Amino acid sequence: MPSISSKGINMPESPIRKLVHYAEKATLLGKKIYYLNIGQPDIKSPKVAMEAVANSTIDVLAYSRSEGSDTYREKISTYYKNNNIKVESNQIIVTTGGSEALLFAMGTICDQDDEIIIPEPFYANYNGFATASGVTIVPVISKIENNFALPPISDFEKLITPKTKAIIICNPGNPTGYLYSKDEIQKLAKIVLKHNLFLVADEVYREFTYDGAEHYSILQEEILSENGIIIDSVSKRYSMCGARIGCLVSKNKEVIATALKFAQARLSPPTFAQIASEAALDTPQSYFDEVIKEYKDRRNTLVENLQKIPGVKVGVPKGAFYCIVELPVKNSDHFAQWLLENFDYNGETIMVAPAAGFYSTNDVGLNQIRIAYVLKKEDLIRSVEILRRALKEYQD
């Protein structure tokens, strides 16, 4: 029998999606499930984006340019400038979601067995992208006790080797909701310049910040013009996860030229999705004002109710719409599966994402879960009550 590749064997399962089979079985048994495991917003996509596709007069659904259409990249450039990020359209490559942008970035800056330092917990698919790219993730641990703030720069410095090519951050963070301050970004800028590294920032949740805090992009730091790479996406910003449109942004000409070769190899990003995403850039600020208010209310509802459960510890998000929750259990993978297979409260249960998959360090995060607060407030209250009763009944 032919053998599977080592890369395929080592490819991690998604902690967000690996329990879907158990959820489907639970649904067939008549249980109602509150899905807290995945960041799929229930907010309606902007009407202007949907109408742009509906009103399209395209006769032939042809390839677009590998780097994305000129008109779309021009509008993205304007969007960035409106957010104090000065980039031109030729410094942007449109990708099939932020996921492809991350793959292009890793392929562009790393060779086999090169290393990237990432504060953990981090977006679980970074593990998968690194495995696919032959890259080694070197984690630097941030802790729930200080709300997952940037670890001391000295912790990064200890991990830098001749194989280190970059530091990656997610800002605001998935899965922690932490928002890096301007001061923290500047500290990272200094270390990457000192060691001639790239700083890659996944900024897909840029709009979602709370309590008066403002997002500060790495490309607002002029000194990072050769070292900075932004990963972006329309998925969460416009509640358009199914569009699969993102982009890679850099002022480094070599980075863009090299990433373009990867883009050419996959031909082009989807045409209709670009039309929708281009139109979405005309979404009025009032849309975001309402969405951010809603997410802030959901965050407050979720955190306040979680804090009432004995033995539960929760990080308080400053942005995005996720939080890490520490539970009084030994193994959250087992607990999450048990919730779907063996537990219900009045015919209802919850689906959560075990947090160990958001770390690359072994045996870390075993008692943690990630919750996405993308449900309406009454459903979040109900979900926390289910969690409270489940923890009371559960035995490790």
Of 382 and 395, the one with more pLDDT: 382
Of 311, 294, 369, give the one whose Cα is nearest residue 337. 369
pLDDT at 395 > cutoff 90: no
Band (pLDDT 50/70/90 cuts) for residue 194 is very high
Band (pLDDT 50/70/90 cuts) for residue 199 is very high
Cβ–Cβ < 8 Å for 352, 122? no
227-254: average pLDDT: 97
CA distance 180 to 173: 8
| Residue percentage of the chain with pLDDT more than 90 | 94
Read off the DSSP letter of residue 322. Answer: E
Entry pTM:
0.96
The pLDDT assigned to 14 comes to 84
pLDDT tens readout for residues 312-337: 999 999 999 999 999 999 999 999 99
| Residue percentage of the chain with pLDDT more than 70 | 100
pLDDT tens readout for residues 35-65: 999 888 888 999 999 999 999 999 999 999 9
CA distance 210 to 317: 8
17-35: average pLDDT: 93
CA distance 8 to 26: 29
Average pLDDT, the chain: 96
CA distance 157 to 148: 18
Cis amide bond preceding 310, omega within 30: no
Read off the DSSP letter of residue 93. Answer: E
pLDDT tens readout for residues 348-357: 999 999 999 9
Of 313, 239, 317, give the one whose Cα is nearest residue 280. 239
Neighbours of 81 (CB within 10 A): 12
pLDDT tens readout for residues 266-316: 999 999 999 999 999 999 999 999 999 999 999 999 999 999 999 999 999
CA distance 351 to 19: 8
pLDDT at 15 > cutoff 80: no
Domains of the chain: 6-44+286-393 (3.90.1150.10), 57-280 (3.40.640.10)
Strands 228-233, 246-249: pairing kind:
antiparallel
Cβ–Cβ < 8 Å for 311, 326? no
pLDDT at 396 > cutoff 80: no
Q: What's the burial of 82, exposed, middle or buried (CB within 10 Å: 0-12/13-18/19+)?
A: exposed
Rg of the chain's alpha carbons, rounded to an integer? 21
CA distance 34 to 22: 13
